[in-house]
Structure 1
Amino acid sequence: MMLTTSTEARADLASTWAALRDVTDWPRWTRSMTSVERLDDGPLRLGSRARVKQPGMQPLVWEVTTFADEAEFSWTNHSPGVRTIGRHLISPTAGGGTTITLELAQTGPLAGLLGLLFGRRNRRYLAMEVAGLAAASEAAAGR
């Protein structure tokens, strides 16, 4: 199962990256997150881990598995029967804004079943997150 959503923010790349990288602040700008607790110190980087609590779900530990400064990061969660990857990509637009793309991919023997059971909620959460990130980026950029 793969879900993707994108939007454009009227914020520069640096402001968008700052809002994206500060994962503990995400619950402030998206209702799809109840809490995000970093399990290590320092800025988000390859190997960073965080415990994420979302409404209607058990807390899950995510580990950053790809990282490119001011461009993208992905994190992965391994649960029984399913591997989930959340990918967060940003790129500059010609007008000085930022394109934000979020992807959620699930693989493993239970991925299809989970997609049927929770696909609608996952799409709703991705929409909340991309809209929230755009708004947080624009607020940080003063737009």
Structure 2
Amino acid sequence: MRYTRTDTIAARPADVWAVLADIERWPDWTASMREIIRLDSGPLRVGSTARVRQPSGRPMVWTVTELENERSFTWSAAAPGFRLTGYHELTPAEAGVTAVLTFTLAGPMAWLARMLAGGRVRRYVDMEADGLKRQSEHRAAT
């Protein structure tokens, strides 16, 4: 399964990155997250981990696997039979920033996870995209 959402955000790349990279505050601006607890400290970096609790499902530990400061980060979590991966990419655009959020589900049991939770995954990615836009534009306006 792969789901991608693309939006233009009317804010500077640094403002959008500040919102995106502060993962512990995501529950403040997206209903797709109940709680995110960093398991390390300092700026977000490759190897950073966080325990994520969403409205449905059990808490999972996500690990940052790729990061390009003020541009993108990828993180993933695993469960028996499948791997979840979230890609977050920001590209400067004439009207601000193009934000691309992509979620993939892979592995031998991904088909079952897709059947059970595919609609919820799409809703959560949409909630995250809407919240990122709203929070970033609010930050840019203040």
Is TM-score (shorter-chain normalized) higher than 0.5? yes
Partner of residue 91, structure 2: 91
- Give the unaligned 5+ runs of structure 2: none
Superposition pairs of residues 27-66 of structure 1, within 5 angstroms: 27-66=27-66
Distance in 1, matches of 2:30 and 2:105, equals: 22
CA distance in 2, matches of 1:121, 1:91: 27
Match of 1:17 in 2: 17
Letter of the 1:142 partner, please give it: A
Q: Report how far residue 117 of structure 1 moved.
A: 1.1
Aligned residue type for 2:97 = T
1:47-68 Cα distance to aligned partner (Å, 9 max, x none): 0000000001110000000000
Is the counterpart of residue 77 in structure 1 residue 77 in structure 2?
A: yes
Aligned residue in 2 for 1:8 = 8
Q: Which runs of 4 or more aligned residues in structure 1 lie more than 3 Å from their structure 2 counterparts after TM superposition?
A: none
Report the Cα offset of residue 116 of structure 1: 1.2
- Aligned partner of residue 56 in structure 1, secondary structure: coil
Q: Percent identity?
A: 44
Secondary structure in structure 1 of the residue aligned to 2:40: coil
Partner of 1:107: 106
Match of 1:121 in 2: 120
Question: TM-score by structure 1 length?
Answer: 0.97
Provide the aligned C-alpha RMSD in A.
0.9
Gaps of 5+ in 1: none
Cα deviation, 1:16-37, whole Å, max 9, x if unaligned, reads 0000000000000000000000
SS at match of 2:47: coil
